[in-house]
Amino acid sequence: MFRSILGLSLLLVTSSAPAALAPGAPAPDFTTQGALAGKPFFFTLKQALKKGPVVLYFFPAAFTPGCTVEAHDFAEATPEFNKLGATVIGMSADTLDKLQRFSVEECRNKFAVATATPAVIKGYDVALPVRPGMTNRTSYVIAPNGKIVFAYSAMSPQGHVSGTLDAVKKWRIARK
């Protein structure tokens, strides 16, 4: 019994699955509360897309090992995303208070994190099946026209930053 539970746990942590919304699909618009460098603000996808592509990544919970690694990786890559005109925003079902601390401590004041409401979780179909109310780990690149150009789901944090960065670069090249 223990081995089967351990095996299932490892499968959930290491497996990848198709992202909920496929490239070409419209990204659901939303407004939610977020934090950047510990300061709260309202984030609206439609407004962010006016500035350029948006890297929207969902993560299960702030201050957990995988989510901390992923936040550090996105923080290191944020200057490159910014050079390409992309906005990075992380999303989880955590409270705003927790995300304010996470934005400072783990996101290193480099990019915003925001609360994934039940409506956002449903709209992006990113519910974590084994933990109701939490999101899985899915990353999207959304073009300014509101269409998804890249989607990647895997519970491991590896591959999310490189995949989204490559997708933003390819999108930029296609636009020239």
**Residues recognised as catalytic:** 67
Q: Burial code of 28-39, b = ≥16 C-beta within 10 A, e = fewer?
A: eebebebbbeee
Distance of alpha carbon 103 from alpha carbon 169, whole angstroms = 25
Its sign, for the CA torsion 146, 93, 124, 30, is negative
Q: φ, ψ for residue 64 (rounded to 5)? A: -95, 155
